[in-house]
């Protein structure tokens, strides 16, 4: 897990609990792929609107919070290849997990943009 300049980042960094952000979910064969504007309040996703490349209804339970992204990285199986990138405050900017490096289409990739903290 690395931050700007490749320095080691603490995965235990405390994440904000109320914010808006844009999440892009790519790679792998799974249903939750696309770009979404997400609203998180009290560490719960309360709204997610598809911005592009998503057909169907967004299920809020599939949309990760920043805390969820860190926990996904920390909880990945020992064989998984995990690349969690964080900013200087320890907030995730991207996550890529290859759950089974010897298999195809099992990866999960996320990018976080336009993070705006809310009171």
- List, for residues 64-118, the tens digit of each pLDDT value: 999 999 999 999 988 999 999 999 999 999 999 998 888 777 789 999 999 999 9
Residue count of the chain = 119
Place of tokens 């904000």: 16
d(CA 96, CA 107): 7
Could you report the per-residue pLDDT of 18-61, keeping only the tens digit for each?
999 999 998 877 778 889 999 999 999 999 998 876 667 788 99
C-alpha closest to that of 38 among 57, 19, 13, 62: 19
What global pTM score does this model have?
A: 0.84
Q: Which two tokens stand for residue 81?
A: 């290849």
Could you tell me how far CA 20 lies from the centroid of its own chain? 13
d(CA 47, CA 104): 31
Confidence at 5, pLDDT banded by 50, 70, 90: very low
């Amino acid at each position: 897990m690395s931050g700007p300049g490749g320095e080691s980042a603490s995965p235990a960094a405390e994440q904000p609990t109320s914010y808006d952000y844009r999440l892009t979910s790519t790679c792998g064969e799974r249903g939750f792929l696309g770009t979404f504007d997400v609203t998180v309040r009290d560490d719960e996703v309360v709204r997610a609107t598809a911005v592009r490349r998503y057909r169907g209804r967004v299920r809020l339970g599939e949309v990760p919070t920043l805390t969820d992204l860190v926990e996904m990285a920390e909880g990945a199986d020992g064989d998984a290849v995990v690349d969690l990138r964080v900013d200087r405050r320890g907030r995730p900017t991207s996550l890529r997990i290859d759950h089974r490096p010897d298999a195809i289409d099992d990866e999960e990739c996320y990018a976080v943009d336009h993070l705006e903290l809310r009171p």
